Structure 1
Amino acid sequence: MKTHALSPLRKAVALLALAFAPPVLATDIAVPAPPPAAKAESLDVQVPDVELVDQTGRKVRLWTDLVRGHTVAINFIFTRCKTICSPMTATLARVQQELGPKSDVRFISITLDVANDTPERMAKFAEPFKPGPGWSFLTGEPAKVKDALVALGGYVPDKEAHRPTVLVGNAVADSWTRVDGLGSPSRILEAVREARAASAGPSELGSTDSNASAQDAAAAKYFTNTELVDQNGKTHRFYEDLVRGRKVLINFAFTSCKGACSPITKHLADVQAKLGDRVGKDITMITLSVDPANDTPKSLSTFAKKFGVKKGWYFLTGSRENITLVLKKLGGYVDTPDAHNTTLLIGDAATGMWVKSPAMANVENIVHAVEHLNDPK
């Protein structure tokens, strides 16, 4: 069978990553930031005509049977995923529902765990999301699945490190973009509609200013302006007061912790010292309490002072409802404080670039991550 190839794969300018020692760039953030405007990452894609197997056990060719002549939305998941795969699939399900049962848009989910994901397991994973007939959950022979993942930009050596992105394209127009799979469904819908429109002729997107405004609105909606209280008793709206327009470092802790919290806070104090006066200006550091029932502003203040924390670093608590909402948005919620993760989130809401690092990673590497977060590869 002849493989159909579109234009050669080209790296998109907006695919930003960190080029430094692996210990810091552990993987992309599990709960990523809101997506950039749909046109921010325009690229060419080569679609191989590999034979895969869908959730019904039917053999299908990726190009011939699924992509050729259609607008498609493609994501990458695995059934044992405990973080982003289910929410991302739920977002795509909302997009499919919004498009309606007569839509000709094809949805494709390709496994990142071919050793485990049989057609039966893919079908069981898909069932709660009630996918329509135009949605294929694909597995198959390892080499063929890998060929598809590599060509579509979804391959990662460690499945846990995969990005929550959706590849949206129209093969007729050779129009392809990547958008955030955990952001608002409206952003994916916008990309789908633009891909469909591209097949009928060129279309103009909004101005840079309007795209930036849309990005800001999406970020505000995702992070929310939930009110939290810092160690000085001051109330802040989470997005507008602490995240908007800045690079941010976010970790999770609680003051009565007998394990990692104190060493991590001491370590991050060294990071703050290395970043210098930028913290409190264009960089914000945030520690979110995972024990709001016990962490008062006073106890957080006492905890922070032990480590010489300076301005620009906010130790946040609040009502259980409010702190839980923000923790869940950032993947930091746990049922019991002792079970909290020791991840450091590093991000820039303005660009939508987020990575995660072990909080105890080398100070120099963390600083490099912050300073070069938006550098092209």
Structure 2
Amino acid sequence: MPRRLSQHGGPGAPARPAAAPPAGPASPDAAVQDLVAAEGAGISTGALARRLGVSPTTIRSWERRYGIGPERHSPGHHRRYLPPDVERLELMCHLTAQGLPPAEAARVCRRPPGAAPAAGAPAAVDAAPAEDRPAPRSGGGHTLPVGPAGALCRGLARAAVRLDDPAMHELLATGLATHGVVATWEELAAPVLRAVGAKWAVSGGRYVEVEHLLSCAIGRALQRVGPDTPPEPPGRRTVLLAAAPEEMHVLPLQALAAALTERGIPVRLFGAGVPTVGLTAAVVRTGPAAVVLWSQSRTSADPRGLAALSTAEWGQPGARQRAALYAAGPGWSGRDLPPGVARLYSLSQAVGELEQPGPAR
């Protein structure tokens, strides 16, 4: 069973990462204090990066270019960040996410608490100390509405808004390495994708660039799971994955391919907009154990394609078989499917079904 991206204990749950704030602090400042206490004398650059949703490279770059680093650092020793350092870098992230240039944001962050803004400073910048600033909102302003998500999910959402591709890569890689494909997709990638879509829907078309970069980052991370061409175990037939002829959205299909590859199940991923005649020919030529046809939207969910696939047979004359056939994706909702076609509703369900292929239908 894949481990869950949960912040709480329980059977199968991983230990809470040191970078995740403990549950139930009295205030954001208390969360920082608890985090620093858990790490000893300050927190490391890596732990701080995970908390902020940026890459360690970004934090080091801010220190090198703008002097935004730990107040106390002994040469030759690893950097350790104390609560004032963490609060200053949180403000840096907040300001850059609002579109303020990093150099100007750094000037605001270096200003002593209560100091008057410099001449010409943007009036919209909130330079108040952290304890005087309002608590972060769930989905308001320039944040994404991910709700009560874990630290990795919040970090990915913040990195996506900033278009911080290295940070997104690092957070996704951490999720995949620690929790596996299913938990990373269902509890990290998919919630942030939904949050971007919700933000886009209420912001007059903004954030489309966030959605595109995030989708590409997730796709690249999924492609790195397993070898480029995983071997096919003797006696184990492949699973064919394809999108309906008019369907161009295939990121969930990539997640399924990665999850099956992670489990040693051979996969052939045909991608977007596969003509029925081509996919049928592939079934006849390769003799798969199962075929999954993905449809994201109702306009691409044509049951006639499934009907054609349901009649495809492979093997020697007299001993021909059919592949198990599955319809996946929200596009098939409410559609009448041909006999013998099963629905897949989630990644975890799909993996469970395809790990133990049923008899030919």
- Normalised to the residue count of structure 2, the TM-score between the two structures is 0.26
Greater fraction helix: 2
- Normalised to the residue count of structure 1, the TM-score between the two structures is 0.25
The structure having more radius of gyration, on CA atoms, is 2
State the structure with bigger RCO (CA 8 A, min sep 6), 1 or 2: 1
